[in-house]
Amino acid sequence: MSKFKPSRRGQINVVLNGLVSSGVVAGFRTNYETREEPDPLRITVTRADGASAAAVQAKVLKALGHVGEGAKIIVELGDSQSQTEHLGAESEITGEQIRAARKLLGWHRSMVAKKARGITGNTVGKAEGTFPGRPPTDEQLAEIKRTLEAAGVEFTIGGEPGVKLKATKTN
């Protein structure tokens, strides 16, 4: 019997290839560029069907089990526009939540951009999955979240992530 133990990278590739074979995802890529473990590990998967990004993320994390701990999952739409919904294992906000938060506040993307440091309207659109291109960085997402929270939005997590306005104190 072989004493060979596959690397984390190898284990992740086996699991993700299994998800492709079973039709859960259409494809994947990771941010492994060398033999060194990336920090944080990012796994980008392409949806195979019309499932929500949160549902795809949950299936990927469940399939990965302990080898997926701490990984950030980015779910790309399975269409030619290459739009993305950025989701992470640390309960980051989703594009749908950003869009809903803006609507609660009555803000356009440009209003978020004006109030957030270093953010453009295009960045907000990419974070929402509306504009094509590279997804925003973790720092940009954190700034968008901070800006919306400062305006009174509370992000909820759980089975169905959402948003609500924070209760205000009356004198």
Report the pLDDT value the prediction gives residue 109, as an integer from 0 to 100. Answer: 93
Residue-level length of the chain: 171
Does the 8-86 domain belong in CATH 2.60.40?
Answer: no
Cβ atoms of 59 and 87 within 8 Å: the answer is no
Report the pLDDT value the prediction gives residue 110, as an integer from 0 to 100. Answer: 93
95-165 has which CATH code? 1.10.260.40
Nearest residue to 142 (alpha-carbon basis) of 132, 155, 129, 131: 155
What one-character DSSP code corresponds to residue 66?
G
Q: How far apart are CA 79 and CA 153, in angstroms?
A: 31
Token pair recorded at residue 94: 């989703």
Q: How far apart are CA 58 and CA 37, in angstroms?
A: 23
Residues of the chain with CATH 3.30.70: 8-86
Confidence of residue 57 (pLDDT cuts 50, 70, 90): confident
pTM score of the predicted model: 0.48
Residues of the chain with CATH 1.10.260.40: 95-165
Mean pLDDT value across residues 126-152: 86
Q: What is the pLDDT of residues 13-46, one digit of tens each?
A: 899 988 888 888 888 888 887 777 777 888 888 8
